[in-house]
Amino acid sequence: MMQSSRQRGSVLIIVLWVAIGLVSIALYFANQMTYELRASDNRVSGVIADQAIEGAARYVSIALANYATNGAVPDNTEIRCEAVPVGDAKFWLIGRDPAATSANASEPYFGLVDEGGKLNLNNVSTNVFLYLPNMSSDFADNLMDWRGTNGIYSPDYTSLGYQSKYAPFETIDELRLVSGATVDMLAGEDVNRNGVLDKNEKDLNSNGEVDPGLFEYATVYTREPNFHADGTSLTNVNTATEAQLRSMFQSAGTSSSTSMAQSLYRSIHPNPNNPRTVNNCNGLLDLALRLKNAGMSSDDFAKLEPNITTSTNVYFRGRVNVNTACADVLIAMFMGANVDESTATSAAQSLINYRQQNATRLSSIGWVIDALGNNSPVVTALARGNNVTTRSYQFLADIAAVGPFGRGYRRVKFVFDVSDGSPKILYRQDLSRLGWALGEKARETLVANNTQ
């Protein structure tokens, strides 16, 4: 009897162990299925976010077609840029605040980025690049060598396994290949390139501000058409007769059109007895300065500017839009034109202050003279060339999207061009690898909305 009880007890224990084993196996597979479910959910959210990116690109294209006409830069009152719903997903356009005077913002600014406010790697001289933050003279020389054709500096690329290109830059990311390029030089403190100093990014100089690198200041895409939107030609003041100038001024509705046309013509043709002696206007700023010195008002010049040119070029390449360029770009451009640092810094700040206070008066290049004065050394230096404008035709849309429940983060950079009349995508690059770039506020909002 005792043996039978022991046998039954052993059987019970074995059954219990088997039951525990089966339950453990069931729990294990249930747990694995939970992880698989979450992984599948994340993959679906990622696919939805990818489609939101494509939808956002179409949205930007339509917005540019409607609002980026005749070189205008769309603003946030015209397009939606933050947490825009696309089905169950949302997208953001990570931008830069054109009104910001410092880089101490704690949250990203949302909007399009004007490529026209940057320096073109294929057109700007070494003198300008030298005055950008984190720039060295050696790297500026290497940059010129990379895009040049004569190999003056000829750094040795043998150890890197390739040779200098000796041709124009095709993308901004080509800078990574130039000898001497470093992450600190190209990205600066803004590792994820969203315009703010995030918590996981190091403030290397402890100034409490994000100090970006060359990626923030450079582009390869700036191209401005030298004709009307409908394809018709502009009037070249350097080749126009005095009668043509007078007719143009009268058609524009400017005051004192006869005397202004005569003054401009004599400025360009100072010696009536020798038609070959000419003093051509270098660009629109030079033209505006001559007419303002002759007594023309800024409002009258603004009426003229959309219909005039000083060049026979079909396109202008490398002009910088003074309406959107940041202080560092403005300072580098002024110092590259042989203006001393103190004057350049003061002039850049004056332009930014004027932009903030006179947002409706920036369509004409003449506002630079209004802000700095006819006798400003910066105005004089810029008038010697043809490097500034108030129009832009290329825009960067840095699109980030998340799928349902705040999952499936994706980020893709697009560069759009409207210089031929209709928007087209010149370049796209996946930036998801750089990590979260929407700031803590967007993260907290998504978490709060998905836990209610």
253 belongs to a structural domain: yes
Nearest partner of 205 among 269, 134, 152, judged by Cα: 134
Number of domains composing the chain: 1
308 belongs to a structural domain: yes
Pairwise CA distance, residues 410 & 430, whole Å: 8
Alpha-carbon torsion (253, 254, 260, 265), positive or negative: negative
127 belongs to a structural domain: no
Percent of the chain with pLDDT over 70: 93
Nearest partner of 406 among 79, 54, 92, judged by Cα: 92
pTM over 0.85: yes
250 belongs to a structural domain: yes
Give the tens place of pLDDT for each residue, 250-276. 999 998 889 999 999 999 998 877 767
- Check residue 188 and report its DSSP letter: B
285 belongs to a structural domain: yes
DSSP-derived pairing of the beta strands 109-110 and 89-95: antiparallel
The mean pLDDT value for 14-38 works out to 74
Give the tens place of pLDDT for each residue, 31-41. 766 666 666 77
* Lowest-pLDDT choice from 16-30, 116-130, 270-284, 365-379: 16-30
* Lowest-pLDDT choice from 120-124, 160-164, 319-323: 160-164
Find the domain containing 269 and state its range.
235-312
More reliable by pLDDT, 408 or 29 = 408
Q: Is the pLDDT of residue 435 over 80?
A: yes
Q: Is the pLDDT of residue 288 over 80?
A: yes
The mean pLDDT value for 68-94 works out to 92
296 belongs to a structural domain: yes
Q: Is the pLDDT of residue 105 over 80?
A: no
291 belongs to a structural domain: yes
180 belongs to a structural domain: no
Residue 17 binned pLDDT confidence (cut-offs 50, 70, 90): confident
pLDDT at 32: 67
DSSP for 52-97, written as a single string: HHHHHHHHHHHHHHHH--TT----TTTS--SSEEETTEEEEEEE--
Pairwise CA distance, residues 83 & 80, whole Å: 8
Q: Is the pLDDT of residue 295 over 70?
A: yes
